[in-house]
Amino acid sequence: MPMSIDKPSTALTSRQQVAVVVLAAALVGAVLAPSVYAATNEPSDTVAVVEVEGPVNTALADDVESELADIRANDSVGAVVLKLDTPGGAPVASERMYKAVQRTSQDMTVIASVQSISASGGYYAMAPADEIYVLPTSTVGSIGLNAPAPRTASTPLGPSGPDKAGSNPTQTWAQQQTLADTFVDAMMAERGDEFEMPREEVAKADVYLGTKAVQNGYADEIGSLNEAVHAAATAENLGEYTVDTRETGGISGLPFLVRTDTQVVAIHANNPGYADVEPMGMTYVHWPAVPHVDTIERFSETNLRTGGATQTDSSTSNATGRLAGGVGA
């Protein structure tokens, strides 16, 4: 009887089937993994938080401009949140920051998050943001110019032209009005559709707490810094994202602002002399947010009585005298 020859079986054992499935899964994973990774790690996966704190001055404007320029050039940043806590300050610095925020908002979502206060020049700077978030007790507004009234005489005396030495009350009034109008006009252009009041009311430079500000259009949402960050990320569809916090303005706390009965001054030293006191003739600043020089003097005297300071009474009085004398108060 001839012997039969069995043909090789083409069926896979269960162990072989498992091996094939595992191999196929590994191959599919190798092909799809880069695309899945890319889906959750896009270039724009960062929300930059730019801290804008303290008086608005040249140093702060320099830093804010620099940080926002770097952010615009950084493909990993998809949205910006401005963390603000400022009473305002110098008009030119405020306008520079306004322009930088406006430029950035053309490239990506920018949301302003007000902590304690963002008034006057601070409000000016953040106005181009897509949304303004406030806390219920945040203070915003003060849209207008702070400046001492020009000294007048029965017959105004002054130079024959704007580039000559001297001063002319009429010319000073005109300059102040131009600065005030520039501020109000810019705010009406940015948020005129949101303001629940006419231009004349806006120009009164009133301030509002957060809850009222949302009602009258000075702000958009009640929310914390974290909520503002989340809103910015959501607006740009970032999905998973990281937060990059950027400090501006330095950490020395200088200069700080003090007001006299007539104007605001910037103090550039902890124990100031005449050279450290800079009168700020025209400012975009919320006047009540700046401490009066008398308040500082009383505070210093209290420290002396309680042993909280090492200066003598006479040295404290002299320092205060330099502040007052330095600005002609």
| 274 CB neighbour count, 10 Å cutoff | 9
Domains of the chain: 46-148+163-246 (3.90.226.10), 256-326 (no CATH)
Q: What is the reported pLDDT for 145?
A: 86
Residue 28: left if φ>0, alpha if ψ -120 to 50, beta else—which one?
A: alpha
Kindly list the distances between the CA atom of residue 88 and the CA atoms of 20, 142, 211, 283, in Å, as whole numbers in the listed order: 69, 9, 21, 8
| Best mean pLDDT range from 178-192, 239-253, 279-293 | 178-192
Sign, CA torsion 98/101/107/112: negative
From 133, 39, 137, 37, select the one nearest 80 (Cα to Cα): 133
Q: What is the reported pLDDT for 102?
A: 98
Burial class (CB in 10 A: 0-12, 13-18, 19+), 116: middle
Q: What whole-number distance in Å separates Cα of residue 27 and Cα of residue 23? A: 6
pLDDT score of 172 more than 70: yes
pLDDT score of 5 more than 70: no
HSE-up (13 A, CA, CB side) for residue 31: 6
Q: Which residues of 222-244 are buried (b: 16+ CB within 10 A; e: fewer)?
A: ebebeebbbbbbebbebeebeee
Determine the average pLDDT of the residues in 303-314: 46
Considering only residues 156 and 125, tell me which one the structure prediction assigns the higher pLDDT. 125
pLDDT score of 51 more than 90: yes
CB 186 within 8 A of CB 97: no
What does the radius of gyration of the chain's CA atoms come to, in whole angstroms?
30
pLDDT score of 3 more than 70: no
Q: What percent of the chain has pLDDT over 90?
A: 50
Q: Average the pLDDT over each of 53-57, 214-218, 322-326 and give the range with the smallest value.
A: 322-326
Q: What is the reported pLDDT for 262?
A: 79
Structure tokens at 212: 């009222």
